[in-house]
């Protein structure tokens, strides 16, 4: 039994969260056991490096990626029987016993995800009367049917006439003409939302309908009245205001001037094409690529056009092929790929584990990262037009959207490598930090992609119910930047001081920090404590001691740490969940930085990592510990289970390389 089996459950006790009975721990592992585990982990991680220098683990999300891939192929008329069968096998394998699909391992059934998975399986030939399909459709009806699903799901259904376009919120392409100072201009949205919304304005303007191969009456609570009206919120509330704004936009659609609408769609088309990456994708993530392909196709680009041909080819690179136990092919679609992030984290892990700083694997990784540095402007420069570029992106190809988190971590990785061309590294680090410092927001913190991307309005739009659509500063990103500044000796500068002040102000009453890009308070605390200590806060500082107390209070009985994604919605889940390798490592990194190496909590945490390591030097982690949008979009980074435990073991054995003065340069 695990902590997250029951979707309607309550937060478990520490004993229940472990998934094991409470038994006496073995004796202290000592350096010998930890050294053996570290050596095995180093060997395993080195074996996974690509010959070009990078690492990349699978990036697992949820079956909407796979379902929408099949829906896209159906819409464009490019179905492939082998792809359909292999994708359907993966979708079926993710179905829960109650007939639903969740958005993370062990999570509760989710309505929109279940609807999209169900429709994809119907496209693959599964019959509605099949037991697994009947269970899914019955649950969907119990939850309110298609009418209760999110906007994006209903947009996909509208493409085939399974939902009426008139019953979807409006987002007109004329939004392209809103000046940058006006609320709800496209740069008020986070980069991921911006890249998705622009092509969807074109799709919504065209309102295409392809003939549906079957009806979906079984997914409506009342097929005779599938689109019941939704209640209006009070006009005195922001939600009520934006609902009425949507009514205005619907009225505008009926009288919109043809030339203006065509010009707006052409402006959207140019915007989309200008942002296509060299690999054919958009933003290095799957959703904008899918919607951009549909939008351009509706604007007259045929499937053999170089832009669409490259876009469709890029989607194939987002697929992971595997086989079932019976040897049948299985296909999973990644929402994104994370080679830069994985490579810098792997470099840090190997260096902290004791690999020589001029080891060929580390030098090769540094060479690859140096080649990936972005030196041209992107959408971030709309708010910082005079700032020279110099950051890194998350993906193989995403020059338009470098991110601050990756850039800070790449700097920390490069500082651990003794490169044969130190001046080259020094120049790259200086460019990167000049860009990073220039991306600081007004409150002293850093967001992931943009500066001061904090408008309260985009999240209020009826159209935007698919997760976080803005990019406000966060404690975890700010912590990584502060740590990088401190490693470079800039911890006393104004930018670092403001970042430190932000972090101290953001600490929760319980001593933890919120995790925006990882789950959740364990991730935030595991990032902030090492950063503050590296920046010079004594381990006796009250903020550090409160963090240590909180981490000790939420340690599981098996010695590990875990936190369920439900902590984003329910405070009873904060710090509670089945122990995972990555979350155990985050807690250990904080405790080790806080001077607790000889403490009982660290001893038990290291013992847990040693005991749960597999024979090949890896760890198993089915739980999702990464975050795209808190709660709404969760990620299982398959390399997290390797790099973070190795980093924790390395620092347990060798100490913090920053404190020990072992960084290069």
Residues classed as catalytic: 405
Among candidates 354, 351, 376, which has minimal Cα distance to 366? 351
From CA 584, how far away is CA 557, in angstroms rounded? 12
Under a CB-based contact definition with an 8 Å cutoff, are residues 623 and 580 in contact? yes
From CA 448, how far away is CA 439, in angstroms rounded? 9
From CA 588, how far away is CA 522, in angstroms rounded? 10
Token pair of 461 as six digits: 């739009």
From CA 345, how far away is CA 348, in angstroms rounded? 5
Under a CB-based contact definition with an 8 Å cutoff, are residues 392 and 406 in contact? yes
Q: Who's near 318: CB < 8 A, 6+ residues apart?
A: 65, 281, 286, 289, 333, 334, 335, 336, 337
Give the orientation angle of helix 339-352 with respect to helix 360-372, to 10 degrees. Answer: 150
Residue 464 CB neighbour total at 10 angstroms: 23
- Strands, sheet with 59-60, edge to edge from the N-terminal-most edge strand: 59-60, 633-637, 626-629
From CA 588, how far away is CA 610, in angstroms rounded? 13
From CA 154, how far away is CA 3, in angstroms rounded? 32
Among candidates 169, 122, 114, 167, which has minimal Cα distance to 138? 114
Among candidates 505, 509, 512, which has minimal Cα distance to 527? 512
Burial of 18 (0-12, 13-18, 19+ CB in 10 A): buried
Task: State the first-to-last Cα distance of the chain, in angstroms, to the nearest integer.
Answer: 49
Under a CB-based contact definition with an 8 Å cutoff, are residues 140 and 219 in contact? yes
Residue 418 CB neighbour total at 10 angstroms: 17
Q: Who's near 126: CB < 8 A, 6+ residues apart?
A: 88, 92, 132, 133
**Helix (H), strand (E) at residue 629:** strand 626-629
From CA 519, how far away is CA 582, in angstroms rounded? 10
DSSP 523-536: HHHHHHHHHHHHTT
DSSP 126-144: --TTSHHHHHHHHHHHHTT
């Amino acid at each position: 039994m695990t902590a997250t089996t029951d979707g309607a459950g309550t937060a478990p006790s520490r004993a229940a969260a472990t998934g094991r009975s409470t038994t006496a721990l073995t004796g202290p592992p000592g350096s010998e056991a930890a050294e053996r585990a570290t050596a095995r982990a180093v060997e395993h991680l080195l074996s996974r490096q690509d010959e070009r220098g990078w690492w990349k683990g699978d990036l697992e999300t949820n079956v909407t990626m796979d379902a929408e891939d099949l829906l896209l192929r159906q819409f464009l008329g490019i179905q492939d029987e082998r792809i359909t069968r292999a994708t359907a096998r993966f979708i079926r394998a993710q179905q829960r016993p109650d007939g639903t699909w969740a958005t993370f391992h062990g999570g509760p059934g989710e309505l929109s995800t279940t609807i999209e998975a169900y429709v994809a399986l119907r496209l693959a030939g599964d019959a509605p009367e099949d037991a697994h399909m009947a269970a899914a459709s019955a649950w969907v009806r119990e939850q309110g049917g298609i009418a209760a699903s999110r906007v994006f799901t209903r947009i996909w259904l509208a493409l085939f006439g399974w939902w009426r376009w008139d019953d979807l919120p409006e987002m007109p392409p004329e939004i392209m003409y809103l000046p940058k100072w006006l609320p709800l201009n496209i740069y008020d949205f986070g980069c991921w939302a911006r890249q998705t919304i622009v092509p969807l304005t074109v799709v919504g303007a065209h309102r295409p309908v392809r003939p549906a191969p079957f009806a979906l009456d079984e997914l409506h609570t009342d097929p005779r009245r599938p689109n019941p009206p939704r209640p209006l919120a009070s006009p005195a509330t922001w939600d009520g205001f934006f609902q009425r704004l949507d009514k205005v936009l619907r009225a505008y659609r009926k009288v919109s001037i043809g030339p203006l609408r065509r010009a707006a769609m052409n402006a959207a088309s140019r915007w989309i094409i200008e942002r296509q990456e060299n690999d054919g994708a958009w933003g290095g993530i799957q959703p904008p690529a899918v919607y951009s392909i549909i939008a351009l196709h509706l604007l007259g680009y045929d499937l053999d056009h170089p832009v669409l041909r490259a876009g469709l080819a890029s989607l194939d690179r987002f697929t992971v092929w595997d086989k079932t136990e019976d040897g049948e092919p299985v296909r999973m679609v990644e929402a994104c790929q994370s080679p830069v992030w994985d490579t810098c984290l792997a470099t840090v892990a190997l260096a902290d584990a004791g690999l020589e700083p001029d080891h060929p694997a580390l030098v090769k990784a540094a060479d690859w990262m140096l080649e990936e540095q972005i030196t041209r402007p992107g959408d971030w420069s709309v708010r910082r037009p005079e700032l020279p570029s110099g950051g890194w992106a998350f993906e193989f190809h995403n020059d338009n959207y470098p991110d601050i988190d990756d850039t800070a971590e790449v700097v920390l990785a490069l500082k651990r490598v003794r490169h044969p061309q130190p001046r080259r590294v020094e120049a790259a680090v200086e460019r990167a930090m000049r860009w990073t410092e220039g991306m600081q927001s007004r409150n002293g913190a850093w967001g992931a992609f943009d500066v001061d991307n904090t408008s309260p309005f985009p999240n209020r739009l009826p159209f935007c119910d698919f997760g976080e659509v803005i990019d406000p500063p966060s404690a975890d990103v700010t912590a990584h930047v502060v740590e990088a500044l401190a490693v470079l000796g800039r911890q006393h500068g104004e930018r670092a001081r403001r970042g430190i002040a932000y972090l101290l102000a953001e600490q929760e009453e319980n001593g933890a920090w919120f995790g925006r890009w990882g789950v959740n308070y364990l991730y935030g605390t595991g990032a902030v404590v090492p950063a503050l200590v590296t920046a010079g806060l004594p381990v006796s500082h009250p903020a550090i001691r409160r963090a240590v107390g909180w981490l000790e209070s939420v340690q599981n009985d098996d010695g590990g740490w875990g936190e369920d994604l439900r902590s984003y919605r329910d405070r009873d889940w904060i710090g509670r969940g089945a122990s995972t390798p990555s979350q155990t490592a985050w807690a250990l990194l904080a405790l080790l930085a806080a001077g607790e190496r000889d403490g009982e909590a660290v001893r038990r945490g290291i013992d847990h990592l040693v005991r749960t390591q597999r024979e090949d030097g890896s760890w198993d982690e089915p739980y999702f510990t990464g975050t795209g949008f808190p709660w709404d979009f969760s990620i299982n980074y398959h390399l997290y289970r390797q790099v973070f435990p190795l980093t924790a073991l390395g620092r347990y054995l060798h100490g913090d390389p920053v404190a020990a003065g072992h960084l290069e340069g």
